[in-house]
Amino acid sequence: MKLCLATNNAHKVEELQALLGEKFQLQTLNEIGCFDDIPETADTFDGNSLQKAIYVWERFQIDCIADDSGLEVDALNGEPGVFSARYAGEHGNHAKNIEKLLQTLEGIENRAAQFRSVITLLIDGKPHFFEGIIRGKITHERHGEKGFGYDPIFVPEGYDRTFAEMTMEEKNPISHRGLAVAKMIEFLKQA
């Protein structure tokens, strides 16, 4: 089954394709001919993921997976949240986002946080939502070279390594996106 993943983020495509397996073939926005900067103007993860999926469906009539995800830090009332990718102002600058978060948390003992992902699966124009949450804590400095985003400063509960220190095979089953994808795969098997 062909599905468009509403992103051009190679890390997300690789991660999601590994989770979905061979039964599903993911196409990026570029591969379907969409070169637009899809708006994300909602104030929730499900609102943003739905907005992206509908954008693709309305223009290309292609079944679509769109996700919005981010880091929610307890001591910061859930920030950076939906602004995770542009927390430091420039969209997608992971190093600056991490730097700003670590500075903001300086001197704060409560480092509890969670990654949240909401996936919208839009099939024949009908949306289905799947959420994944992984609790953990923010480290005081970067550790590891793998992954992307806030992975170098997030240690999931029950582990002593950051996501960036884990292999994809270790991270995928426990990650927020992995948990949401597992729910989506169960849904697709029953459809």
* Closest residue by Cα to residue 108 from 69, 152, 83, 73: 73
> What mean pLDDT is predicted for residues 180-189?
89
Phi–psi pair at 124, nearest 5 degrees: 50, 35
Distance of alpha carbon 49 from the chain centroid: 10
Give 46 or 90, the one with higher predicted confidence. 46
Cβ contacts of 157 within 8 Å, gap of 6 or more: 134, 135, 136, 137
Query: In the structure encoding, which two tokens stand for residue 115, read together?
Result: 């990654």
Distance of alpha carbon 122 from the chain centroid: 17
Q: What is the pLDDT of residue 39?
A: 84
Domains and CATH numbers, the chain: 2-190 (3.90.950.10)
- What is d(CA 189, CA 191) in angstroms, rounded to the nearest whole number? 6
Tens digits of residue pLDDT in 86-96: 999 877 789 99
Cβ contacts of 146 within 8 Å, gap of 6 or more: 163, 164, 165, 166, 167, 168, 171
- Torsion, Cα 162 165 166 167, to 10 degrees, reads 150
Q: What is the pLDDT of residue 191?
A: 64
Give 8 or 58, the one with higher predicted confidence. 58
- What is d(CA 139, CA 31) in angstroms, rounded to the nearest whole number? 37
Q: Are 12 and 27 in contact (CB under 8 A)?
A: no
**Alpha helix stretches (DSSP H) within the chain:** 10-20, 29-32, 45-60, 94-104, 168-171, 176-190
Residues designated as active site: 68
Q: What is the pLDDT of residue 128?
A: 97
- Residues of the chain with pLDDT > 90, as a percent, come to 73
| Partners of residue 2 on adjacent β-strands | 25
* Closest residue by Cα to residue 4 from 39, 30, 37, 35: 30
State the average pLDDT for the chain.
Answer: 92
Burial group, residue 49, by CB count within 10 angstroms (0-12, 13-18, 19+): buried
